[in-house]
Structure 1
């Protein structure tokens, strides 16, 4: 199947309101441009070098999301182009965004709902205080929460992670501020996006399921 066929197959399975961030970190500029021609407008990169390469190659109406862990010292390298950050979990990064970026950055707070030691993200109980600490940083526009479910076969275990993030978002949205509007949920990847969209995912991250031509 072609990238276009893969992309359209995913779109046919999800609500129209769900944004598909196509992860292109393992793919060339040529393949990324092929995805753009297929209709993709949201792209995901997890390294600064890849982010800058794809941003330079793609037309202006494409959105390149930074989906990996961003070190505070690297913020300045992408400050002119950073539009979406899916992994905010440290105040040092927020401070750099405030000082280095020209305009506001749409940020998702990364939450480690599953509690796995191998995963980045804040503990569920620490998110409220972290949001409070972000209120002075007006360029940090918190649009929602992000999590990754464990790679397990038990759909019930995966589902519980997405349910908990949705519940946390609903609870914390009661204390929204000018730069904190919890309206979006970034959750779900190639193996579990169908579960995530059932629980309100507005951004899903899909890589090989779209970019693989097998």
Structure 2
């Protein structure tokens, strides 16, 4: 069993090196540096042992789509001795009845998709801070539906413009940036979507100097190179990180 585990660790470590080679090419094209980018291993489809191997392989950032799985991974990984330092983020849709489960477990929530959800997270996080159960407001990203696809969640850009001042006043959250997902199957559409997110970030920061949207969370296994060239600061890799046989596109 140990030999099999070591073999898997070796494979995902080699795959990480291949990913970094591709990342460096994209960064070079964009005139950027590796320290400008975070690489997340999305562990939603793997078990705790595989997630731990990802951390051992060098990933310092893990992402989960479901609150219950985030809590399970949080507790399971915390029980493993001598694991290198890492952060676990919530990247999937968050229902209001799951907020309490995520608070205190997620380093960053990527999927604040509406003003109502932002208010709900802020209210509950503020109560936790007041009670001494959280050390600081919950760090969040605002999810934006840049592409306009009906199947995607998130703020419409115009709706975000209309309510950003209200969101900035919420005491229980700290807005750290924006997140989006691109339509699948077209790198041209992906580039347009990611550029739109960057431009929206620049616009909002220009209008509100107190707003520091340092993170642009965009780019996944199929389009991370395009996202990097368009300014992503955090790419989210699932299959390409955990399945060494999955082709790098």
TM-score range, shorter chain: over 0.9
CA distance in structure 2 between the partners assigned to 1:91 and 1:113 by the alignment: 16
Match of 2:4 in 1: none
Aligned to 1:68: 92
- How large is the RMSD of aligned CA atoms in angstroms? 1.7
Aligned counterpart for 1:121 among listed residues 151, 154, 158: 154
Hey, what does 2:175 align to over in structure 1? 142
Bigger shift: residues 130-139 or 160-169: 130-139
Paired residue secondary structure (1:138): coil
Aligned to 2:203: 171
TM-score by length of structure 1 reads: 0.92
Structure 1: 5+ residue stretches without partners = none
Is residue 8 from structure 1 mapped to residue 17 from structure 2 by the alignment?
yes
Aligned to 2:122: 98
Q: What is aligned with 2:230?
A: 199
Cα deviation for residue 116 of structure 1 reads 0.7
Size of the alignment, in residue pairs? 212
User: Mean Cα displacement is larger for which, 63-72 or 77-86?
Assistant: 77-86
More helix as a share of residues: 2
SS at match of 2:196: helix
Question: Of the candidates 53, 59, 82, which is equivalent to residue 34 of structure 1?
Answer: 53
Whichever of the two has the greater Rg, that structure is: 2
- Where has structure 1 moved over 4 Å in runs of 4 or more? none
TM-score between the two structures when normalised by the length of structure 2: 0.80
| 1:156–1:76 distance in 2 versus 1, CA, 3 Å | same
**1:92 positional shift:** 3.0
* In 2: Cα distance, 1:11 partner to 1:130 partner: 38
Determine the C-alpha separation between the residues in 1 that align with 2:167 and 2:75: 30
Q: Which secondary structure does the structure 2 equivalent of 1:167 belong to?
A: helix
Larger strand proportion of the pair: 1
